[in-house]
Amino acid sequence: MWSCFRSPKTHEHPEEEEEGFVVNGALLLQELIASCDAKSNPIRIFSAKELKQATDNYNQSRVFRDKYNYILYRGLIENERSVLVKKFGEDDDLYIQQAINEITIASQSPIFTWQAPNPSSIVTGRYTDKCDVFSFGAVLFEILTGNTASDILQAISSQFNAQTVLSPQMVTELYLNANIFQTQEKPEQVKACSSLALRCVKEKPEERPTMKQVTQELRQIKSHYFNNEMTTTVSYTENG
């Protein structure tokens, strides 16, 4: 997804070039891998030669942006993959950390989210696993009420504006209880799912369950009520 590259400086000795690459690349990798909880390595490393070819030897026609401390080039890797190459000047050491921060933040930004994105990700620009949990909770709301996410959000916002005493969480719970799909079959299962949905959309991310916990709870709900149905059916057959 993201690319790092060897410093464009000219070094007299290969050892100096390698040292610069280790310093620049290692710091960048460390930041990015840490941002992914060490679960993946979302970075591909290109050599200086590959980037030179991708930008036609840093041709002026490839310049996308020209700033006082760097030039950004449009490039094409292997004639099919578009990349942006940031080339620093001679004093680029001053801007290494800035480049690291930019890519680290960009790597955490959502590329695509469900139509009900987590409010905190909109404010901070960061996307975490708890944002996925929020979006899944919104999906449960749609299933449980039969309403679209935009309609749900509009209704909750209107109720919250009219209720100055109640918290957003309380208004959300009231809305769900008032609009939940009523069914004579498996009412306890619906109630358990609604409880899970409310926890998934809590305002504070740390109060939400993880996706692993959500999955485990859904399996427990399914298993529990499936076993109850089987027990009821067996009892009815024996008594019949």
Q: What is the tens place of the pLDDT at every residue in 116-171?
A: 556 655 555 566 677 778 888 888 888 888 877 767 777 777 766 665 556 667 77
Query: Per-residue DSSP letters for 187-222?
Result: HHHHHHHHHHHHHHT-SSGGGSPPHHHHHHHHHHHH
State what percent of residues in the chain have pLDDT above 70.
50
How confident is residue 85, by pLDDT bands cut at 50, 70 and 90? confident
Q: What is residue 132's three-state secondary structure?
A: helix
58 backbone φψ class: left, alpha, beta (φ>0; ψ -120 to 50)? left
Q: Which has the higher per-residue pLDDT, 173 or 96?
A: 173
Regarding the domain delimited by 119-239, which CATH topology (the fold level of the hierarchy) does it fall under? Transferase(Phosphotransferase); domain 1 (1.10.510)
Q: Mean per-residue pLDDT for 47-54?
A: 87
How much is the pTM? 0.45
Q: Mean per-residue pLDDT for 208-231?
A: 79
How confident is residue 213, by pLDDT bands cut at 50, 70 and 90? very high
CATH 3.30.200, the chain: domain bounds: 2-107
List the CATH code of the domain at 2-107. 3.30.200
Give Cβ neighbours of residue 221 (< 8 Å, ≥ 6 apart). 189, 192, 193, 196
Q: Mean per-residue pLDDT for 63-84?
A: 81
pLDDT on residue 25: 52
pLDDT on residue 77: 84
Q: Which has the higher per-residue pLDDT, 90 or 191?
A: 191
Q: Which has the higher per-residue pLDDT, 135 or 5?
A: 135
In the predicted model, is pLDDT for residue 44 greater than 50?
yes
Q: Which has the higher per-residue pLDDT, 90 or 205?
A: 205
Q: What is residue 119's three-state secondary structure?
A: helix
In the predicted model, is pLDDT for residue 182 greater than 70?
no
CATH 1.10.510.10, the chain: domain bounds: 119-239
How confident is residue 19, by pLDDT bands cut at 50, 70 and 90? low
